[in-house]
Chains A and B, each alone.
Chain A
Amino acid sequence: MTGNLRPVPTPPDETAREAGNDNTPLVESTTLVADTMYCGTCMITIEDTLNALPGVSRARVNLTTKRVSATYDPSRTSVETMIAALDGAGFPAAELIESREADADARDRDFLKRLGVAGFAAANVMLLSVAVWSGIGNDMSQGIRSLFHWLSALIALPAIAYAGQPFFRSARLALKGGRLNMDVPISLGVILASGMSVFQTIRGNDHVYFDAAITLLFFLLIGRFLDQMMRTRAAGAAANLLGLKASSAVLLADDGSSQRVSARSLKPGSRVLIAAGERIAADGVVEDGTSEVEESLITGESVPRPVTVGATVYAGTVNGGGALIVRATATDQNTLLAEIARLIDAAEQGRGRYVRLADRAARVYAPAVHILSGATFLGWLALGNGWEPSLTAAIAVLIITCPCALALAVPAVQVAATSRLMRRGVLVKAPDGLERLSEADTIVLDKTGTLSLGEPELVGAEGADRETLARAVRLAAVSRHPYSRALVRAAERRGIAVAPAEGVIEVPGSGLRLPNENAHEERLGAPGFVGESGTPIGTSEAGASVLAYRAADGQITRYSFIDRLRPDAAEVVTRLKQAGYTVELLSGDRQGPVAAAAAATGIETFRAETSPAGKLARLGELAAAGHKPLMIGDGLNDAPALAAGHASMSPAGAADISQVTADAIFQGQGLAPVVETIAVAKASQRMAIQNFAIAIAYNFVFVPLAMLGHVTPLIAAIAMSASSIAVTANAVRLKTKRLEFHR
């Protein structure tokens, strides 16, 4: 270990091997998501696990983003091997789907750079300005003051030109579009103040505003950066969730060999083997095999659909029964996903017209500022002053009204609100999501996967004692069918040891059989399969699904399952209703289960068997009646409705496209985050308005002073900092504040 802390560059023999080889080692890099890591030990375990794999040259964990970047030699290892190794080490991992995030990261860094430059310049200019202010009236000579002004100009002008670009660009875009936004008075104020200050410096006058201009930019950049950073973090966390759901698939080659590839690399025409319990990776047609497909994500239907050769299956659904061989169909315009994407596009256009609070304020504020400043200039001219003092006074008005506090008012609140929600597992993705969430007055819920957990649970075991259940579970343990797994879970909860029986045969679409020497072979499955008359998988009136078990002695017991509601569903619905919201249930599932769920949670208005277009139509009706619906759903069938709702939320288990469409994503078993999100959204709006009030109150004091020409650069600097700090401090309160929940 002597002197080996920093290893020497490539040892000679290594170089010879690498460079001397005719095919130099391939290097590819990838990013994996492993979102269960939370501490230094996890970090070391993950890095060591990956680094120990042959072919992995470097793995480095980022604990903040919960990602691992790895470089590897694709000829010696693969992403799938790395994922398998991490799974083995206890960290479920997935490859990150490439997105626009790289851009967002670059934008974050860009803002930070500008912030650094503005901070440096602001500090140094302020240093010089304070010297000048304390020198006025003392013994500071004209020459020294002039020198200080020139130095300020030298530091401030390049910094303003660089750090102000985001504002100048946005202002130019707004003006081009014939609009006024907050950035127009900001840019105008900064540019005029700088120009005027250069002029005053040349003339050797007292008042220059370089410090005001650069400090203003510094404060505003902080607001913008916080805003941007929160959004990048939320988007990154959302991308992690999606990445973890992206599946791999077993691709069958023509020669019969199979290979595990990522689902994204599938092409139309690929033949894919889908094992029981696996998520189907692409839309396709079944070529071989019989099974049941659990399609609640698409249709909202909680009972699996039997499929056989020739049937169409959709990406994202789960193969519940036997293995299937599927030929992927065209992934272009004709897929279900594309159809739903079109509905989403159409629905989102309606929402694009939404105008944010800050922009609404800017529409009033920006013209007011310009009029005030213009009036000051004309007033001073009319009173017989020269154009120079008139312009100085007008610029002072622009600087004072420059909406420093106003531009911080909303971002500061949003950062406080989104970070509070993030701690509670809610990711707010849409920039204007909080505003729209706070305005909702009607809550529209989907059933399967949203109000319910989307997985069956054993609710009744008719005539089954503990021993019979234990025997039935021996069969169920072999299968990955949702009902079998539910039976196993129920047995485990009752403390029954689960040991799979040997020799169980799975009959896709029917059930499980265990041949023996007795008169009756043991069977678990649909009542008809087991020997009772009945439907394929029986469904009772209350919406429960029924399985039957025939023991070796011929005795038959029945087990019923329902899709269990989220533990706090009824409580959350009650709280929403008490707070004055109208709650509706809109489901693609059958009448029975939907009615049962509505009754259990106390929702009076519900609709069953609603198609995606039907959901969209219902939201349209609500909007036409003047309501602002908040749509909460998870399925592919909810995605258009999520886009059409005034605001929307999705649970973390939702279909990819729903998560992308929703304004906010909530994690965990309960529905309570919905209440918290609405409460925080409302509080954030109240606080944004409070902040506007603070900013405007401060203007009421200082604008008259500025119009009268009493605002010196010193007063401008103090007023600006004080109001910015006031609104930020007010916003920070939201992080810990106790919130009441009402409409």
Chain B
Amino acid sequence: MTSLAWLIPAALALGGLGLAAFLWSLRSGQFEDLEGAGWRALQDRPLTGPGESEQAKRTDATD
């Protein structure tokens, strides 16, 4: 029964990790555009994520 002492925390931690990942992805807008995300993966050019800004474009342009 001593195995419970670490099994239960491990199970809860894993579940909690999943929940945290879900809440994070929700907050960072990963569910905003489910259709577009699939297409973006096929794009053959530097990535610009939802949070990236003008600098990305400027650097691209000056390359």
- Using a CB–CB cutoff of 8 Å, the interface residues on chain A facing chain B are 1, 4-11, 14, 39-40, 43-44, 51, 57-58, 60-65, 71, 109, 112-113, 116-117, 120, 123-124, 127, 144, 147, 151, 155
Contact = CB atoms under 8 A, between A and B. Distances in A.
Given A51-B57, A144-B1, A120 B63 contact: no
A113 B33 contact: no
A123 B58 contact: no
Contact of A109 (B26, B46, B53): B26
B12 to A, nearest CB: 6
Interface in B17-59: 18-19, 22-23, 26, 31-36, 38-40, 42-43, 46-48, 50, 52-59
Given A39-B39, A113-B26, 8 more contacts: A44-B43, A60-B48, A63-B35, A64-B36, A109-B26, A113-B23, A124-B11, A155-B12
A14 B54 CA distance: 11
19 contacts: A5-B46, A5-B47, A6-B47, A7-B55, A11-B58, A11-B59, A40-B40, A40-B42, A57-B54, A58-B52, A60-B48, A63-B33, A63-B36, A120-B18, A124-B11, A124-B12, A127-B11, A144-B1, A144-B4
Nearest to B46: A5
Nearest to A41: B39
A713 B33 CA distance: 40
B57 A60 contact: no
Contacts of A5: 46-47
Smallest CB-CB A-B distances: 4 pairs: A40-B39, A63-B36, A7-B59, A57-B54
Contact of B53 (A58, A63, A144): A58
Contact of A62 (B8, B36, B47): B36
A65 B31 CA distance: 12
B3 to A, nearest CB: 12
Nearest to A63: B36
A112 B36 contact: no
B19 A63 contact: no
Contacts of B55: 7-11, 14
Given A4-B46, A64-B33, A124 B15 contact: yes
A43 B58 contact: no
A225 B44 CA distance: 36
B36 A43 contact: yes
A151 B8 contact: yes
A9 B57 CA distance: 12
A151 B35 CA distance: 40
Contacts, number: 84
A124 B59 CA distance: 47
B44 to A, nearest CB: 10
A51 B59 CA distance: 13
Nearest to A15: B55
A60 B42 contact: no
Contacts of A120: 15-16, 18-19
A61 B43 CA distance: 14
Main secondary structure of the interface of B (DSSP, over half): helix
Nearest to B19: A120
A109 B26 CA distance: 7
A58 B63 contact: no
Contacts of B40: 40, 43
A116 B18 CA distance: 9
Given A43-B40, A57-B57, A123 B50 contact: no
B63 to A, nearest CB: 7
Nearest to A112: B26
Chain A CB within 10 A, most for which of B4, B16, B19, B58? B19
Nearest to A67: B33
B47 A8 contact: no
B20 to A, nearest CB: 9
Contacts of B11: 124, 127
A8 B15 contact: no
B58 A1 contact: no
Given A57-B53, A62-B33, A116 B63 contact: no
A43 B57 CA distance: 17
Contacts of B52: 58
A60 B43 CA distance: 14
Nearest to A42: B39
Given A64-B33, A64-B36, A1 B63 contact: yes
A161 B1 CA distance: 32
Nearest to B38: A40
A548 B11 CA distance: 84
Nearest to A61: B36
A144 B26 CA distance: 36
B15 A64 contact: no
A710 to B, nearest CB: 31
Contacts of B15: 120, 123-124
A57 to B, nearest CB: 4
Contacts of B16: 120
B31 to A, nearest CB: 7
A68 B59 CA distance: 22
A215 to B, nearest CB: 15
A116 B33 contact: no
A7 B56 contact: yes
Contacts of B31: 112
A56 to B, nearest CB: 9
Contacts of B56: 7
Contacts of B39: 39-40, 43, 63
A668 to B, nearest CB: 22
A729 B13 CA distance: 33
B58 A14 contact: yes
A1 B63 CA distance: 7
A39 B57 CA distance: 23
Contact of A64 (B26, B34, B60): B34
Nearest to B57: A51
Given A7-B59, A40-B40, A40-B43, A116 B32 contact: no
A155 B12 CA distance: 9
Contacts of B33: 61-65
A147 B36 CA distance: 47
A108 B62 CA distance: 40
Contacts of B43: 40, 44
A64 B19 contact: no
Contacts of A44: 43
A163 to B, nearest CB: 12
A116 B19 contact: yes
A162 to B, nearest CB: 12
Contacts of A112: 26, 31
A606 to B, nearest CB: 44
A51 to B, nearest CB: 6
Contacts of B42: 40
Contacts of B48: 58, 60
Contact of B26 (A1, A11, A63, A116): A116
